[in-house]
Amino acid sequence: MMFSNDGFLTDKTSSSNSGQTHVFTSFPNSAVDPDDEHFGNQSSDTDKLVLPLPATATDAKPEQSYVWQIEYYQKYFQIDTQQVLERLAASVTPRPNKSYFDSTIRQNPDLYGPFWVCITFIVTVGISGNIVNYFHLPDVEFQIDFSRITLSAILVCLYWWLMPTFIYFFFRWRLNRIEYTFLELLCLYGYSLAIFIPVSVLWIIPINWLQWTLTFIASLVSGSVLVVTFWPTINSDHKRLSAISMLVVLLAHLLMAVCIMFVFFHISDSNINPKSVTTLATTTLSSMSTLTATTTTTATITPKTA
């Protein structure tokens, strides 16, 4: 039996080879065509092919980013929610025997948390200031004052940027070394404002002594975290200068809180709308005119005598 050209078995036997039982008359094409003109040069062409090295084998260094490039600040926004919560909690719990900066911020300083802390503080101050005007001046026509948000943004952002700048150049001038980078100081001061967010809501309560108490407690707690953080660095200098510099840091923190409380939560005669004063004066004059006319009319009427 043998295979025919159509691939089926047949009973015909080959005359040239009687002992052969199976004959394949058609074969599949070879993977390498011997008629190819490059068949003879295949080995030489293969030797010329060079595969690229894997990525792990290269010694390529990462590109260096500069301060004016956005890529430089990407590492300061690589932080998760758990780390932000830990830093918020540590910013309101001073620990004399443990550095808040070295244990929490030094490994991975960020700007994500401080940015949102400052934005939240600005918004709560603006909204709470408008609520204070609404409840404390019920007889005045109430209008939302959006300029309060702008003013609070100016005050908060100025403090957030000016104090780290002052401390950075003070350490560089006095100690002749840089213990903290400017962005690390921005991170530290941004988180230090977190305690004033709930305090700005409590400032709505119209009790003078309570407002002052909240201001002093919040400033003392948050400022003490800053003092404990900077003290190991400045302690190597003269003791008197170290104490004075840390007192300045604490007083600046308190001054910021007092300014915000006075500007947005203190009610005085200057906060009253002039329109209401004019209306009140006009009403008073009208009442006095009516009273004078009534008195004159009564005086001119005399009873008749018999």
| Domain limits, the chain | 70-88+104-267
Instruction: Please tell me the predicted confidence (pLDDT) of residue 55.
Output: 45
pLDDT for 57 equals 44
Q: Can you give the three-state secondary structure of 49-82, one letter per residue?
A: CCCCCCHHHCCCCCCCCCCCCHHHHHHHHCCCHH
pLDDT at residue 77 in the model = 86
pTM of the entire predicted model = 0.65
User: What pLDDT was estimated at residue 281?
Assistant: 40
Please give the chain's pLDDT, 306 residues, in tens: 555 555 555 555 544 455 555 555 555 555 555 555 554 555 445 444 555 554 444 444 556 766 677 777 788 888 889 999 999 999 998 887 777 788 888 888 899 999 999 999 999 999 998 888 888 766 667 677 788 889 999 999 999 999 999 999 988 887 777 788 898 999 999 999 999 999 999 999 888 899 999 999 999 999 999 998 888 888 776 778 888 889 999 999 999 999 999 988 876 544 444 444 444 344 444 545 554 544 444 444 445 444
pLDDT of residue 206: 83
